[in-house]
């Protein structure tokens, strides 16, 4: 992370990139400047559509299909990439500038082993023999603390976990010891506990090999750990540019400040005192997808009260979404039962009455796939009205307009649009309206803000909070994002490997002493403090033994 | 590996079931035709009594389900019955003919498959260039032309005008291999022209389909050449659809050669089928249909299994 060696490596000036859509070229990147010295890490942050990835990839002289580099200059180590021939650029890629993609699972070729994909770059660029590359790969796998470093490379991508894949991809980027690595949201798809391992790997590597890096992310706390400098982008333009500490402590632009302020949202009103009968009770539920397999849920037991928000946290595979499937009746449990307002719900949704179905609604992570793209908003939100409540004609129209007002969207403007004409945040609002239309008492929110930019996500959280107070709704909030939990939860349930390991009020859960796993989960959430990761590493090393490598 | 074995058994039993259903359909279809073997054998001048007597002798007076079971039982033991036309065992009649048909199909496949793969890969590599368009137009025109027409054009030039190859592919059992290859060259080329377009376009489409995948972009960002991206990164993942279309075309080469065999007077199963239909030799027609059906089902089964086996997730389970 040292910036003493001031040898200029990459200089981008007035970069302009266009993308082709709707039959014409639109400007995506509008004149961005950027300089990077050897061994330096630059963080690029901004919301989706800000042009982060496009700029990152342009540093390799590459434009995605449907895009073109339209103007400006990209100088890498004295070589002008905008005018270089395809062959010259090809020789550079992989060997001197490497790329680490957001989804390693999608970016590794499923037909080849990890180590073959590692050595391919080395062999094809004529740097070394396959045997030497194999040895080097094992050495690197060992350095980044992959389990079984001598063997893991011979596995296929689908045979290793997401966190391991992401680390293997970082190792692959290093195969030719490049001068520059572009990290494009390398940890966005990972759980916090896995994320910190990958972050440590990346930082180790950057330090050990004095590699320069461009680190692209929308997560400020992550970039605070990784970057020497931060550049904030919006709509393809630079908003602000400063070294990390200055940027964090003293941002100048309003937009930057608003990004920084996102995590400040807190639920203000105390939840009402719990009523004697919980609205929903999950009683010692054990469930599995097929009889032969081990149960996915083991003896899960909790209750949720009217007007309360209960957050269910845990890493992927811990059984959060399966619990939701049991509650909604999609997956009848093997043992245990679900009670609604004191009365048992039939385990299979097909056996539930319309009224029982109406009372439990769900909002999903991907609003895109949860709404029918060929239906107008009027039909999407109107369907539960006629299905559950037999509303027709004027009554239905009036209710539709009320619902749109509730989710703060103008009924005249939106009711007759199709989902494709809405933004991600607006679509999620429509999904909320659809859930509300059934007039439920209990709503399951499954990672509802995970696919949204932070500012938009905050808007959704505020909306959900307001609706809860107005309608006395109970939420079960499934998430892996602990910042969201801190913001809105009243109670927290921590799940691990299908079991509830800890549950209680938010204040209890977030205050020590913690269950061992809760501790790991909490301490893995990045904080905005640039020294946070060093501190965590130090603490964990003192406790003896590194965090267990993900398996 | 257990999963694979289970899957193989599952597919295999499905194939057997399909074949059984097909045999039922063939038998019913043939029984629905007006007249029967006894009538056909004795001709129009036969009296009612003689026909009835022959029916009794041939077992045709029994109810259909008994006849069906009898027929099926015979087939299971390799006995297809006796031809009406020349009283010979059908299995004997068919054996040599089927070998000829297989020979021609394999010959055509030997030319067509590598050709289609190479053309398809090149078309994907140089897509939207003049090469791609030329290959597309040429192969499409050849597939759109009726095969008998292609056959006559080839005969016109290669045998009538230039005299390079014979227009009749009249091979016998003891024709030596090389002569056989020479004599059947024109029918093989005709078949090639008919099937290559389909396979080539599928290869091209399957590869191009994958070019938008993140791992292809990754390969480009690793500085791989276009050629390597196509052959090393796209092709291994494109095998499933390609194998499917190749095997379907192989099936077509075996069961769809009727016209070509007739044009070139090639003694294959298709020709036998056409002759038997003309002679109303129903037992032979039934047998030929069943063999065609079995071939088709078997090849489809192979396509299914191969395309599943090319999936690394199945070959290398966790």
Q: Looking at chain A, which residue has its C-alpha nearest residue B235?
A: A111
Residues of B in contact with A93 (CB under 8 A): 220-223
Q: Is residue B212 part of a domain?
A: yes
- pLDDT score at A2: 44
User: Are B222 and A159 in contact (CB < 8 Å)?
Assistant: no
Distance of residue A365 Cα from the nearest chain B Cα, in angstroms: 22
- pLDDT score at A137: 92
Q: Looking at chain B, which residue has its C-alpha nearest residue A174?
A: B222
Q: Are A248 and A222 in contact (CB under 8 A)?
A: no
Q: Is residue A251 part of a domain?
A: yes
Residues of B in contact with A112 (CB under 8 A): 236
Q: Where would I find the H helices in A390-491?
A: 393-406, 411-414, 424-437, 454-471, 482-488
Residues of A in contact with B232 (CB under 8 A): 120
Q: Is residue A520 part of a domain?
A: no
Look-up of token digits 């200059």: A73
Question: Is the pLDDT confidence value at A425 over 60?
Answer: yes
Question: Is the pLDDT confidence value at A310 over 90?
Answer: yes
Residues of A in contact with B215 (CB under 8 A): 106-110
Residues of A in contact with B318 (CB under 8 A): 158-159
Rg of the Cα trace of chain A?
A: 25
User: Are A106 and B236 in contact (CB < 8 Å)?
Assistant: no
Distance of residue A44 Cα from the nearest chain B Cα, in angstroms: 19
- CA dist B299 and B292 (Å) reads 11
From the list A62, A107, A159, which residue is nearest B215 (CB)?
A: A107
Residues of B in contact with A125 (CB under 8 A): 223
- CA dist B2 and A258 (Å) reads 56
Q: Is residue B62 part of a domain?
A: no
Predicted confidence band of residue B1 (pLDDT cuts 50, 70, 90): low
B191-231 tens-digit pLDDT: 888 888 888 888 888 888 888 888 999 999 999 998 899 88
A201-252 tens-digit pLDDT: 888 888 888 889 999 988 888 888 889 999 999 888 888 888 888 888 888 8
- pLDDT score at A551: 35
Instruction: Label residue A299 exposed, middle or buried (CB < 10 Å: 0-12, 13-18, 19+).
Output: middle
Domain membership of residue A68 as a residue range: 8-264
Q: In this structure, are A20 and A119 located in the same domain?
A: yes
If you average pLDDT over residues A510-536, what whole number do you get? 82
From the list A93, A101, A158, which residue is nearest B223 (CB)?
A: A93
- CA dist B296 and A501 (Å) reads 57
Question: Is the pLDDT confidence value at A292 over 80?
Answer: no
A40-49 tens-digit pLDDT: 999 998 887 7
Distance of residue A166 Cα from the nearest chain B Cα, in angstroms: 13
Q: Which residues contact A66 (CB under 8 A, 6 or more apart)?
A: A19, A20, A21
Average pLDDT, chain A: 85
From the list B212, B214, B236, which residue is nearest A107 (CB)?
A: B214
Residues of B in contact with A103 (CB under 8 A): 214
How many domains does chain A divide into?
2
Distance of residue B212 Cα from the nearest chain A Cα, in angstroms: 9
Q: Looking at chain B, which residue has its C-alpha nearest residue A125?
A: B223
Q: Are A185 and A45 in contact (CB under 8 A)?
A: no
Element (H, E) at A171: helix A162-173
For residue A408, the number of C-alpha atoms closer than 13 Å in the C-beta half-sphere is: 11
Q: In this structure, are A319 and A224 located in the same domain?
A: no
The first and second tokens of residue A142, run together, are 């060992």
First-last CA distance in chain A? 29
Residues of B in contact with A111 (CB under 8 A): 233, 236-237, 312
Q: Are B167 and B160 in contact (CB under 8 A)?
A: yes
From the list B220, B236, B318, which residue is nearest A111 (CB)?
A: B236
Q: In this structure, are A91 and A135 located in the same domain?
A: yes
From the list A60, A111, A124, which residue is nearest B221 (CB)?
A: A60
Q: In this structure, are A238 and A331 located in the same domain?
A: no
Average pLDDT, chain B: 83
Give the C-alpha distances (Å, rounded to integers) separating A68 from A57, A189, A376, B19: 12, 28, 35, 56
User: Are A94 and B221 in contact (CB < 8 Å)?
Assistant: yes
- pLDDT score at A119: 93
List the strands of the sheet with A180-184, edge to edge.
A97-100, A180-184, A212-217, A41-45, A229-234, A237-243
DSSP 8-state assignment for residue A2: -
From the list B212, B222, B236, which residue is nearest A93 (CB)?
A: B222
Question: Is the pLDDT confidence value at A339 over 90?
Answer: yes
DSSP string, A252-278: -SHHHHHHHHGGG----SPPPPPPSS-
The domain that contains B241 carries what CATH number? Answer: 1.10.3720.10
B160-182 tens-digit pLDDT: 888 788 877 777 777 778 888 88
Q: In this structure, are A354 and A466 located in the same domain?
A: yes
Secondary structure of residue A151 in the 3-state scheme: coil
Distance of residue B245 Cα from the nearest chain A Cα, in angstroms: 21
Question: Is the pLDDT confidence value at A3 over 70?
Answer: no
B94-134 tens-digit pLDDT: 888 888 888 888 898 899 999 999 999 888 888 888 888 99
Distance of residue B112 Cα from the nearest chain A Cα, in angstroms: 26
Q: Which residues contact A393 (CB under 8 A, 6 or more apart)?
A: none
Q: Are A448 and A425 in contact (CB under 8 A)?
A: no
- pLDDT score at A1: 44
Element (H, E) at A383: helix A377-389
Q: What percent of chain A has pLDDT over 70?
A: 96
Q: What percent of chain B has pLDDT over 70?
A: 97
User: Of B306, B246, B299, B318, which is closest to residue B8 (Cα–Cα)?
Assistant: B306
Q: What percent of chain B has pLDDT over 90?
A: 6
Q: Phi and psi of B86, rounded to 5°?
A: -125, 15
Q: Taking CA B162 as the corner, what is the angle to CA B157 and CA B167, rounded to the nearest 5 degrees?
A: 60
Q: In this structure, are A241 and A351 located in the same domain?
A: no
**A42 DSSP β-pair partners:** A214, A229
Q: Looking at chain A, which residue has its C-alpha nearest residue B310?
A: A111
Q: Taking CA B234 as the corner, what is the angle to CA B228 and CA B238, rounded to the nearest 5 degrees?
A: 145
What is the SS3 string spanning chain B?
A: CHHHHHHHHHHHHHHHHHHHHHHHHHHHHHHHCCCCHHHHHHCCCCCHHHHHHHHHHHCCCCCHHHHHHHHHHHHHCCCCCECCCCCCEHHHHHHHHHHHHHHHHHHHHHHHHHHHHHHHHHHHHCCCCHHHHHHHHHHHHHHHCCHHHHHHHHHHHHHHHCCCCCCCCCCCCCCCHHHHHHHCHHHHHHHHHHHHHHHHHHHHHHHHHHCCCHHHHHHHHCCCCHHHHHHHHHHHHHHHHHHHHHHHHHHHHHHCCHHHHHHCCCCCHHHHHHHHHHHCCHHHHHHHHHHHHHHHHHHHHHHHHHHHHCCHHHHCCC
Least confident of A294-298, B8-12, B84-88, B102-106: B84-88
- pLDDT score at A547: 45
Q: Is residue A290 part of a domain?
A: yes
Domain membership of residue B220 as a residue range: 100-280
Distance of residue A168 Cα from the nearest chain B Cα, in angstroms: 14
Q: Is residue B8 part of a domain?
A: no
Cis peptide before A141 (omega within 30 of 0): no
Q: In this structure, are A412 and A324 located in the same domain?
A: yes
B225: number of Cβ within 10 Å: 15
Distance of residue A54 Cα from the nearest chain B Cα, in angstroms: 13
A344-396 tens-digit pLDDT: 999 998 999 999 999 999 998 888 788 888 899 999 999 999 999 888 889 99
From the list B215, B223, B233, which residue is nearest A92 (CB)?
A: B223
Alpha carbon dihedral A120, A122, A126, A131, in 10-degree steps, equals -90
Q: Which residues contact A93 (CB under 8 A, 6 or more apart)?
A: A60, A61, A62, A99, B220, B221, B222, B223
Q: Taking CA B114 as the corner, what is the angle to CA B109 and CA B116, rounded to the nearest 5 degrees?
A: 90
Interface probe, candidates A107, A180, A290, chain B, greatest B C-beta count within 10 A? A107
Which residues of B make CB contacts under 8 Å with A? 212-215, 217-225, 228, 232-233, 236-237, 312-313, 316, 318
Q: Looking at chain B, which residue has its C-alpha nearest residue A154?
A: B316
If you average pLDDT over residues A393-417, what whole number do you get? 89
Give the C-alpha distances (Å, rounded to integers) separating A472 from A23, A115, A362, A441, A447: 49, 55, 16, 8, 21
The b/e string for A27-62 (b: 16+ C-beta within 10 A; e otherwise) is bbbbebebebbbbbbbbbbbbeebbbbbbbbbbbbb
- pLDDT score at A262: 55
User: Of A305, A301, A303, which is closest to residue A271 (Cα–Cα)?
Assistant: A305
The first and second tokens of residue B33, run together, are 């035709």
Question: Is the pLDDT confidence value at A518 over 90?
Answer: no
Question: Is the pLDDT confidence value at A116 over 80?
Answer: yes
Q: Is residue A535 part of a domain?
A: no
Q: Taking CA A47 as the corner, what is the angle to CA A45 and CA A49, rounded to the nearest 5 degrees?
A: 110
Distance of residue B310 Cα from the nearest chain A Cα, in angstroms: 9
Whether ipTM exceeds 0.95? no
User: Of A307, A432, A435, which is closest to residue A361 (Cα–Cα)?
Assistant: A435
- pLDDT score at B318: 61
Residues of B in contact with A64 (CB under 8 A): 217
Predicted confidence band of residue A549 (pLDDT cuts 50, 70, 90): very low
Residues of A in contact with B209 (CB under 8 A): none
Q: Is residue A529 part of a domain?
A: no
User: Of A294, A275, A295, which is closest to residue A286 (Cα–Cα)?
Assistant: A295
Q: Is residue A354 part of a domain?
A: yes
Q: Are A76 and A97 in contact (CB under 8 A)?
A: yes
User: Are A90 and B313 in contact (CB < 8 Å)?
Assistant: no
User: Are A65 and B212 in contact (CB < 8 Å)?
Assistant: yes
Interface probe, candidates B127, B209, B222, B234, chain A, greatest A C-beta count within 10 A? B222
Q: In this structure, are A286 and A258 located in the same domain?
A: no
Secondary structure of residue A20 in the 3-state scheme: strand
Sign of CA dihedral A383, A387, A392, A396: negative
User: Are A120 and B222 in contact (CB < 8 Å)?
Assistant: yes
Residues of B in contact with A124 (CB under 8 A): 222-225, 228
Which residues of A make CB contacts under 8 Å with B? 57, 60, 62, 64-65, 90-95, 98-99, 101, 103, 106-112, 120-121, 124-125, 155-156, 158-159
The first and second tokens of residue A480, run together, are 């892996």
How many domains does chain B divide into?
1
Of A234, A264, A294, which residue sits at a domain end?
A: A264
Q: In this structure, are A97 and A206 located in the same domain?
A: yes
User: Of B142, B253, B237, B231, which is closest to residue B187 (Cα–Cα)?
Assistant: B253
User: Are A124 and B223 in contact (CB < 8 Å)?
Assistant: yes
Distance of residue B236 Cα from the nearest chain A Cα, in angstroms: 6
- CA dist A127 and A350 (Å) reads 62
Interface probe, candidates A87, A110, A130, chain B, greatest B C-beta count within 10 A? A110
Look-up of token digits 């470093």: A149
User: Of A335, A361, A363, A357, which is closest to residue A345 (Cα–Cα)?
Assistant: A357
Q: In this structure, are A384 and A490 located in the same domain?
A: yes
From the list B215, B225, B316, which residue is nearest A109 (CB)?
A: B215
Q: Is residue A236 part of a domain?
A: yes
- CA dist B19 and B271 (Å) reads 23
A76-109 tens-digit pLDDT: 988 898 888 889 999 999 899 999 988 888 899 9
- pLDDT score at A201: 83
Q: What percent of chain A has pLDDT over 90?
A: 27
Look-up of token digits 């239905």: A396
From the list A62, A124, A156, which residue is nearest B316 (CB)?
A: A156
Q: Is residue A163 part of a domain?
A: yes
Q: Is residue B169 part of a domain?
A: yes
User: Are A110 and B225 in contact (CB < 8 Å)?
Assistant: no
Q: At what angle do helices B130-144 and B185-210 cross, to 10 degrees?
A: 130
- CA dist A89 and A126 (Å) reads 15
Alpha carbon dihedral A359, A364, A367, A368, in 10-degree steps, equals -120
User: Are A93 and B313 in contact (CB < 8 Å)?
Assistant: no
The domain that contains A209 carries what CATH number? Answer: 3.40.50.300
User: Are B222 and A111 in contact (CB < 8 Å)?
Assistant: no
């Amino acid at each position: 992370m040292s910036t003493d060696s001031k040898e200029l490596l990459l200089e981008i000036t007035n970069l302009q990139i266009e993308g082709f859509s709707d039959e014409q070229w639109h400007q995506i990147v509008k004149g961005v400047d950027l300089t990077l010295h050897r061994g330096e890490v630059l963080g690029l942050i901004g919301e989706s559509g800000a042009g982060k990835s496009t700029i990152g990839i342009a540093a390799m002289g590459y434009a995605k299909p449907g895009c073109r580099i339209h103007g400006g200059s990209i100088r890498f180590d004295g070589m002008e990439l905008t005018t270089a021939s395809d062959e010259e650029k090809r020789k550079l890629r992989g060997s001197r500038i490497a790329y680490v993609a957001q989804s390693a699972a999608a970016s590794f070729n499923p037909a080849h082993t990890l180590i073959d994909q590692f050595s391919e770059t080395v062999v094809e660029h004529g740097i070394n023999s396959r045997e030497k590359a194999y040895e080097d790969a094992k050495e690197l796998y060992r350095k980044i603390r992959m389990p079984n470093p001598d063997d893991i490379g011979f596995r296929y991508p689908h045979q290793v976990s997401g966190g391991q894949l992401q680390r293997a991809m970082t190792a692959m980027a290093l195969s030719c010891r490049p001068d520059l690595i572009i990290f494009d949201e390398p940890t966005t798809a990972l759980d916090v506990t896995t994320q910190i391992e990958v972050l440590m790997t990346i930082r180790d590597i950057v330090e050990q090999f004095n590699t320069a890096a461009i680190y692209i992310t929308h997560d400020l706390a992550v970039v605070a750990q990784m970057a020497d400098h931060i550049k904030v982008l919006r709509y393809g333009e630079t908003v602000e540019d400063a070294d990390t500490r200055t940027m964090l402590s003293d941002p100048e632009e309003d937009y930057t400040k608003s990004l920084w302020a996102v995590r400040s949202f807190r639920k203000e009103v105390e939840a009402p005192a719990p009523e004697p009968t919980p609205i929903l009770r999950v009683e010692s539920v054990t469930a599995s997808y097929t009889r032969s397999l081990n149960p996915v849920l083991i003896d899960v037991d909790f209750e949720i009260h009217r007007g309360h928000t209960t957050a269910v946290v845990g890493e992927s595979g811990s059984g959060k979404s399966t619990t939701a499937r049991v509650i909604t009746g999609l997956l009848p449990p093997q043992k245990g039962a679900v009670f609604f307002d004191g009365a048992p719900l039939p385990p299979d949704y097909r056996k539930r009455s319309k009224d029982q179905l109406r009372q439990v609604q769900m909002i999903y992570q991907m609003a895109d796939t949860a709404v029918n793209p060929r239906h107008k908003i009027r039909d999407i939100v109107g369907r539960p009205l006629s299905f559950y409540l037999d509303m027709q004609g004027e009554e239905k129209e009036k209710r539709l307009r009320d619902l749109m007002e509730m989710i703060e969207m103008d009924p005249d403007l939106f009711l007759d649009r199709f989902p494709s004409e809405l933004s991600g945040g607006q679509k999620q609002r429509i999904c909320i309206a659809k859930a509300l239309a059934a007039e439920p008492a209990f709503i399951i929110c499954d990672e509802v803000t995970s696919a949204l930019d932070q500012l938009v996500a905050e808007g959704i959280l505020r909306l959900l909070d307001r609706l809860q107070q107005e309608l006395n709704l109970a939420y079960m909030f499934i998430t892996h994002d602990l910042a969201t939990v801190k913001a809105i939860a009243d109670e927290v349930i921590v799940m691990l490997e299908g079991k509830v390991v800890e549950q209680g009020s938010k204040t209890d859960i977030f205050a020590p002493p913690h269950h061992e796993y809760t501790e790991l989960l909490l301490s893995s959430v990045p904080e905005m403090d640039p020294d946070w990761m060093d501190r965590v590493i130090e603490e964990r090393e003192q406790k003896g033994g590194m965090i267990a490598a993900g398996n | 590996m257990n999963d694979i074995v289970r899957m193989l058994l599952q597919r295999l039993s499905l194939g057997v079931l399909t074949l059984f259903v097909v045999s039922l359909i063939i038998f019913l279809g043939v029984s629905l035709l007006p007249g029967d073997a006894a009538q056909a054998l004795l001709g129009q001048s036969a009296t009612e009594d003689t026909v009835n007597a022959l029916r009794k002798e041939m077992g045709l007076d029994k109810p259909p389900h008994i006849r069906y079971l009898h027929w099926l039982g015979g087939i299971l033991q390799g006995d297809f019955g006796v031809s009406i036309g020349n009283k010979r065992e059908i299995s004997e009649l068919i054996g040599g003919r089927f070998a000829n048909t297989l020979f021609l199909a394999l010959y055509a496949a030997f030319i067509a498959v590598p050709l289609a793969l190479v053309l398809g890969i090149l078309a994907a590599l140089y897509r939207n260039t003049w090469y791609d368009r030329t290959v597309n137009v040429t192969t499409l025109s050849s597939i759109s032309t009726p095969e008998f027409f292609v056959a006559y054009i080839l005969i016109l030039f290669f045998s009538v005008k230039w005299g390079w190859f014979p227009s009749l592919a009249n091979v016998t059992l003891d024709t030596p291999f090389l002569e056989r290859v020479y004599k059947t060259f024109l029918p093989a080329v005709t078949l090639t022209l008919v099937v290559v377009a389909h396979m080539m376009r599928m290869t091209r489409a399957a590869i191009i389909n994958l070019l938008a995948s993140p791992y292809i972009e990754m390969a480009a960002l690793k500085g791989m050449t276009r050629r390597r991206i196509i052959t090393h990164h796209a092709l291994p993942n494109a095998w499933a659809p390609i194998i499917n279309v190749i095997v379907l075309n192989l099936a077509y080469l075996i069961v769809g050669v009727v016209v070509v065999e007739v044009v070139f007077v090639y003694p294959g199963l298709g020709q036998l089928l056409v002759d038997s239909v003309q002679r109303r030799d129903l037992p032979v027609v039934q047998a030929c249909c069943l063999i065609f059906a079995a071939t088709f089902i078997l090849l489809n089964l192979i396509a299914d299994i191969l395309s599943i086996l090319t999936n690394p997730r199945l070959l290398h389970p966790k």
